[in-house]
């Protein structure tokens, strides 16, 4: 088929953009191999930017006409795929699906080329929320040599989104989790979710089995210890629960916001609050954790040791400014029923009013702010959402 002059120009500029992206990718690889620092997504971002500029310069009709006239071959396939990816990244998923479906129907595609198209089409369906179709295509690719790993990872993310933890666990078990800590962490969380469901239905044997499997693949997972504490309490062994919570606080202090309330609750139920105070005092002396100090101060106040709590908070605030600790201090030591100086009252109101403007948790990967989640609801990373108060 003949291609018009404008289409030739468009084709040429697209090829140049892809070539630039390829070159930058090669440069990035060589730079990494020499141990030099470079932003990991730089080449991909530049290629997308180049394509966006190109597509902004031409009408949709011109691009559609080019695709209709451009033959499908080994040489032109990267152009077709790049255009399809561009549409998907720009939110035009329907156009991306149409491009990849048309490519897949082409009789001259080799097996390797077909797999590349199938993978892109699966990504289209995933972006469109058509998870059943994406799963069906990815099931074809998990045994292919070129796309096995990518297909499994995309399929895993779909199963997570659908909360199909049993199937996700079955899929991930086909990898060598010992060589990939990220996969081991995900596998452990799948078992933890299953254990949580078992605990809710009081199926303690099943819960214990799931937690044993979780600990086997990720022995340092804090969620396993937190759930183990709840299981111990359900079985009537509150001492073991307290021991498990202490392990979480000692080994993974960034999850202290989840462990401290349980430790306080179980210590009160077992009449071991004095032991808890001693443990928290030692932990704070060792870590200077604001979260531990807040819990320790609250426990001291409840045990009529208000002066000790005040001294600890004031000493910390003298060393280090903290809006979170200042709010705790104001709440604890500025009684609402006691008249204070008007300027102090204004300052107190300002401090407490700012409480609604801050979120308690933040994802270290994407910056999501909100309530606590073991898996970030924004970027889907595991164990990345922790308390902003350390």
Question: Can you give the pLDDT of all 390 residues of the chain as single tens digits?
Answer: 445 555 555 555 555 555 545 444 444 434 333 333 333 344 445 445 555 555 555 456 656 665 665 666 677 788 788 888 888 988 989 989 988 998 888 877 788 889 999 999 999 999 999 999 999 999 989 988 889 999 999 999 999 999 999 999 999 988 888 788 889 999 999 999 999 999 999 999 999 999 999 999 998 899 999 999 999 999 999 999 999 999 999 999 889 999 999 999 999 999 999 999 999 999 999 999 999 999 999 999 999 999 999 999 989 988 888 878 888 888 888 765 454 555 555 555 555 555 544 557 889 999 888 889 999 999 999 999 888 776
Collapsed DSSP state (helix, strand, coil) of residue 370: strand
In CATH, the architecture of 175-271 is: Alpha Horseshoe (1.25)
Interhelix angle 222-234/256-269, nearest 10 degrees: 20
Which pLDDT score, from 0 to 100, does residue 13 have? 54
Within 13 Å and on the Cβ side, how many CA atoms surround 322?
24
Alpha carbon distance 349, 358 (integer Å): 16
pTM for the whole thing? 0.76
Q: Which residues contact 165 (CB under 8 A, 6 or more apart)?
A: 159, 190, 193, 194
Locate all alpha helices (DSSP H) within the chain, ordered by sequence.
5-33, 42-57, 60-69, 77-89, 93-104, 111-128, 131-141, 148-161, 165-172, 181-200, 204-217, 222-234, 238-251, 256-269, 273-287, 290-302, 306-319, 323-333, 342-353
């Amino acid at each position: 088929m003949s291609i018009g002059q404008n289409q030739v120009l468009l084709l040429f500029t697209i090829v140049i953009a892809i070539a630039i992206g390829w070159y930058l990718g090669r440069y990035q690889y060589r730079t990494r191999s020499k141990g030099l620092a470079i932003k990991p997504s730089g080449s991909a971002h530049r290629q997308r930017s180049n394509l966006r500029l190109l597509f902004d310069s031409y009408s949709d009709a011109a691009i559609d006409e080019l695709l209709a006239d451009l033959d499908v071959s080994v040489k032109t396939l990267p152009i077709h795929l790049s255009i399809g990816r561009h549409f998907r990244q720009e939110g035009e998923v329907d156009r991306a699906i149409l491009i990849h479906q048309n490519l897949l129907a082409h009789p001259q595609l080799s097996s390797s080329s077909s797999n590349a198209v199938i993978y892109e089409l699966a990504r289209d369906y995933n972006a469109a929320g058509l998870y059943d179709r994406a799963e069906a295509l990815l099931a074809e690719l998990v045994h292919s040599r070129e796309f096995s790993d990518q297909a499994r990872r995309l399929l895993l993310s779909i199963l997570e989104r659908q909360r199909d933890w049993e199937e996700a666990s079955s899929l991930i078990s086909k990898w060598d989790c010992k060589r990939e800590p990220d996969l081991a962490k995900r596998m452990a969380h799948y078992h933890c979710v299953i254990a949580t469901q078992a605990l809710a239905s009081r199926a303690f044997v099943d819960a214990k089995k799931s937690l044993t499997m979780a600990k086997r693949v990720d022995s340092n997972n804090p969620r396993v210890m937190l759930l183990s504490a709840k299981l111990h309490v359900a079985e009537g062994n509150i001492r073991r629960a307290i021991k498990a919570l202490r392990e979480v606080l000692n080994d993974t202090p960034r999850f202290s916001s989840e462990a401290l309330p349980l430790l306080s609750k179980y210590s009160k139920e077992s009449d071991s609050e004095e032991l808890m105070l001693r443990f928290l005092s030692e932990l704070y002396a060792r870590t200077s954790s604001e979260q531990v100090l807040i819990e320790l101060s609250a426990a001291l106040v409840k045990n009529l040791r208000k002066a000790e709590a005040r001294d600890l908070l004031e000493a910390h605030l003298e060393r280090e400014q903290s809006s979170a600790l200042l709010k705790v201090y104001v709440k604890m030591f500025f009684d609402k029923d006691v008249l204070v100086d008007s300027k102090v009252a204004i300052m107190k109101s300002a401090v407490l009013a700012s409480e609604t403007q801050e979120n308690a948790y933040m994802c270290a990967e994407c910056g999501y702010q909100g309530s606590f989640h073991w898996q970030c609801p924004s970027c889907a990373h595991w164990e990345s959402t922790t308390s902003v108060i350390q």
